[in-house]
Amino acid sequence: MAQNTPPGWYPDPQGSGQQRYWDGNQWTPHLNPGQQQQHQQPSQLEKLAELDVSGPANASQIQQQVQHQAGVQPTQRGGGTLFTEPVLVVNQKTKLIEINNEYSVYDQAGQQLAAVVQVGQSGLKKAIRFLGSYDQFMTHKFEIRDGHGRVLLKATRPAKFVKSRVVIERGDGAPIGEIKQLNAIGKINFGLIVNGQEIGQIRGENWRAWNFAVVDHTGAEVARITKTFEGVLKTMFTTADNYVLQIHRPLQDPMLSMVITSALTIDTALKQDSRGLGG
């Protein structure tokens, strides 16, 4: 949610299906009692899972991440939306227990443009994720929402066996394409598939899958994904990952939407299943 959004009731970014109160600076614990009289109280596990121990990033932190950690020099800002900015920063929220993945998306100046929320998880599924490393055997669904809670894009990663694929849809459910993992050994590559045709690739530049080049059907690089590190302690004790996506030139759909979703796809397909991939 953008910091200049006025206080009020908005669709809950945590996926409850109700409205949550935004106080002008942050989301509060309060859900709209008039919208649904009976609301199931979250369990202690869910309360711990929703506790963000990292806190919101400020503008100087985002600029430090972009310029010094990712090595991306300041460039002319776009139109101030998810689809018009040339540099996007995707930061995963750091939680004590990671059973419900959430991300914040910023522009290069530190203005939040969107939030990425994992949806559709039952209590049983959360419990299974808490008890063991079974992410690769589960379907994961994400919604990319703007500051008003409107769903801009949807990403679904079906249960995988060796290789991942992520299905990309518009906010209204209209299909865009899918991102398919092409190999499971060595530098990981993904194909950008639309109507059965490959329109580009996401190519890993090292075996640990830290940095990726996004190329079009001619092999020309159109974007770059760089993983950034928040320090040794955070890396050791949490699994949260942060990425900077740099888009080199204006793109048209469907390539634009797939490139925007690509940083989230990398994190979901590889980092979340790192145990299954031997990483």
Residue range 57-66, pLDDT digits in tens = 678 888 888 8
- For domain 59-277, the CATH architecture is Beta Barrel (2.40)
Question: Is-cis flag, bond preceding 254, omega within 30?
Answer: yes
Whether residue 222 is predicted with pLDDT greater than 90 in this model: the reply is: yes
pLDDT range class, residue 34, cuts 50, 70, 90: low
Rounded to the nearest 10 degrees, how much is the dihedral formed by the CA atoms of 254, 255, 260, 265? 90
Report the pLDDT value the prediction gives residue 185, as an integer from 0 to 100. Answer: 84
Whether residue 139 is predicted with pLDDT greater than 50 in this model: the reply is: yes
3-state SS of 147-216 is CCCCEEEEEEECCCECECEEEEEECCCCEEEEEEECCCCCCCEEEEEECCEEEEEEEECCCCCCEEEEEE
* Tokens 């935004």, residue located: 22
Between 86 and 28, residue with greater pLDDT: 86
* Tokens 């940083």, residue located: 263
Q: Compute the mean pLDDT over every residue in the chain, rounded to the nearest whole number.
A: 76
* Tokens 């090292």, residue located: 206
Report the pLDDT value the prediction gives residue 144, as an integer from 0 to 100. Answer: 93
Hey, what are 85's tokens? Answer: 């900015």
Distance CA 234, CA 54 (A): 10
One-letter amino acid at 93 equals K
Inter-residue contact 5 to 147 (CB < 8 Å): yes
Whether residue 20 is predicted with pLDDT greater than 50 in this model: the reply is: yes
Q: Which helix (H) or strand (E) holds 256?
A: helix 255-269
Report the pLDDT value the prediction gives residue 134, as an integer from 0 to 100. Answer: 44
**What pTM, to 2 d.p., does this model score?**
0.70
Report the pLDDT value the prediction gives residue 119, as an integer from 0 to 100. Answer: 84
Inter-residue contact 199 to 217 (CB < 8 Å): yes
Distance CA 47, CA 262 (A): 29
Between 137 and 104, residue with greater pLDDT: 104
Report the pLDDT value the prediction gives residue 265, as an integer from 0 to 100. Answer: 75
One-letter amino acid at 230 equals E
φ/ψ (deg, to 5) at 185: -125, 140
φ/ψ (deg, to 5) at 260: -60, -40
Residue range 225-270, pLDDT digits in tens = 998 865 444 444 344 578 899 999 999 999 999 999 988 777 776 5
What residues does each domain of the chain span?
1-37, 59-277
